[in-house]
Structure 1
């Protein structure tokens, strides 16, 4: 009888284990970005580009330095095995101890992609500057509309900026009577926006680059130019097709194009160089700033991928270590260095990022005081 009971228990355990979602993640396995890299964003659902993630980390770092307030942005594919995204956000908030108790405010901005759910949790005391009503407005007006269009990056950026604005004191008049907006003010506001939009459109139309008919140029942006004009004759230039462009790119440039770190386009002036066999081609490189790829000292192009792996976590008592590697995909350039991760300061040990969930569930940090959620 005992053996039969044990067998039944074993079968039940196996059924539960097999049925558990493959992407289930316990709270304490969510990477703590500030402990690992002194950052503020954990993008486990891969919703952000490296450039956007770097921008968010910079904005959130500036907020913490200027005001002491802390915002963590976390994306996951699923919140299982938690009972709900709301519970997951609450548990993660306590696990990390978000917000320094009695000092500053803390916010957890969680996105669960597969569950199509947003949860924003705030620390106790935060509702005085970031009331639940304001959090609901941010979710409904800034985040959800973008997510419904599949623009996750735009929604996350808009939501984060709204939260930063509120915690920076720029929303101090929010709780004043919003019903006092006058119709004429709204009307003229729309007129002003329309005029500004028209001016931007005209300026953009007049800002077509002037390119030398034979040369190279480089810009730090992702948007490619739709029209280019010749710097000599001021006539519109013709864009080369992809196959024709490759023959004009060097080996490092071709490698960067393949990696996606740089995008290249070729422009030809038919008036200055009417013969297609002539060498008159302007190569334009679009190279946005990236954390993932850096310039190779040999190839002189963004062909080096930089990666890091933590080998020892930092604690309040001891610094940590990580291995930073740089590998070029065009030449044999490769280095690997061991760098030190600074020990967590006492200020952080008493608040947010106390080590990624020490025993006590972040009880020394701020308490979860409010927030809101929404679905798309």
Structure 2
């Protein structure tokens, strides 16, 4: 019998005082403590928020942290940080805090009391659900953060914001109704309905049967193997960057589309078309949390016997130090299976799109840290200088480089991150919204 003990994960708790205040540090609005945003994204975020502050006096801070351990919830940490910094102008309370907690896989957007009318909690939740979380689930922190800030600044500046269409296909109800009417003129509608119903049932049935078939984990063609567990353990196993997966989603959407058209034709009400499609999207959303990870039964590649899933909280037992560290910092997600027959282990890691920039060039561990130290502040008459330090806690790798900070300018919003030395002294009563990816 396999007995797995729960090992405590290392914790890197961060306090409010340890989060660098970007207004004091370099006169900007972004504090990327978790190192998930690129330099170009930080520059664009600073430009957008500076423009917002110049036009409306509203202030916005974008903060990323590894986790919010030590606080009741990520929301509690966000509210306390908002009031600790005093985001927004005093008396107006027109501040916004956009916080990303990588380890908690959580986004929180906190709003000041003075923004309730123009930016209600329901609007904030809509922006999180439609613009931010879908991109974060694909590992696109740059795209999700930029999309969220662009929507927030547009709303706060009173600019019209295009609503996200409910379906990306561009096919509207009226278009479908017109097309179906033309088809019905030339073909017996009952025959069409029967074919669609039968086809939908067959496709969904094939998909369900496919989902019950065992799969063997193997790397995709060109997929990079992160490490082999056989280096420290004679049991068969490997940590893979990606695996081949069966096209279950193709069966799901094709079958649901057929059933949707069938219901629309047979009932004469095209609301029936939406029911199977919505159900398929909900199912896909559930499966999408483990996109690329097989949810079918897994068999051992070595002996062909069924494998058992390893609970995520128990997976550290099978991971080397560098992978435990990468997992605890939210750099990647790990899924594991154990073979009770031959003691084989298979672990699959799903990395974010930005993770490739966080690999140590020496030991190849996903543990590279970037810290920034301002050596000389930029002014309106001279440029500044900052020191960027890349370090790896696993092998001790360290690299330093000096980066010039452009001098401040009244006319160039790309480099003008504001002349204030701090936020304006606003406060929050806990308004806003949040979401998990």
What band does the TM-score fall into relative to the shorter chain? Answer: 0.3 to 0.5
TM-score, reference length from structure 2: 0.41
